Amino acid sequence: MPLPSPCPATLIPAYSMATRSASTPTDLSFAQLLRAHGLRATAQRRAIYSVFADAARADAANAHLSAEEVFQQARLHLPELSRATVYNALGELVEAGLLGLVEGPGPRRFDANVAPHHHFRCRHCHELHDVELAHVDVTLRERGFHVESSHVLLEGLCPRCAADAPADLR
């Protein structure tokens, strides 16, 4: 149990990826992982899953992709992929527990991080960032609440949009 920190909402830094490797696709063979979850390792599924691995490698706390983004990027690996195949495969990967799903506002996003976590959504660029709120449930438990699940969404401006925004948007 981590010690309480003065600021309970901490953006998960990208370097924490290594400690979360079990829940992210980077360091496991896709084929192995798919088979371990009862899915055949088809070229389509591997192309789709590798899009998430690439995104997680680029920014571990920010690998949340819409179906359309997955389609556009997976097509670069496998040009014959159809939109319907990508949408179906995404559903299968969520069902198998290999991807998380975050509902809108905006397009639903598929999440490479399947460990329990919360999100910060930028209201300008709509990007999602993983957030750890480790102490909220502890605080509630101390007050006698039985927390069974939690889905916390924080909203505002990401650092990039905050820097770009004219003063009236901030």
Which residues would be at the binding site for Zn ion (CB under 5 A)?
A: 111, 113, 122, 124-125, 130, 158, 161
Please give the C-alpha separations between residue 65 and each of 35, 49, 98, 137, 170, in angstroms, as whole numbers: 23, 11, 14, 28, 25
- Closest to Zn ion by CB, 47 vs 158, is 158
Are 130 and 113 a contacting pair, CB within 8 Å?
yes
- Closest to Zn ion by CB, 48 vs 61, is 61
CB of 98: closest distance to Zn ion in angstroms? 14
CB of 94: closest distance to Zn ion in angstroms? 13
- Closest to Zn ion by CB, 89 vs 130, is 130
CB of 35: closest distance to Zn ion in angstroms? 25
Instruction: Give residues with Cβ within 8 angstroms of 48, minimum separation 6.
Output: 70, 74, 81, 86, 89, 90, 93
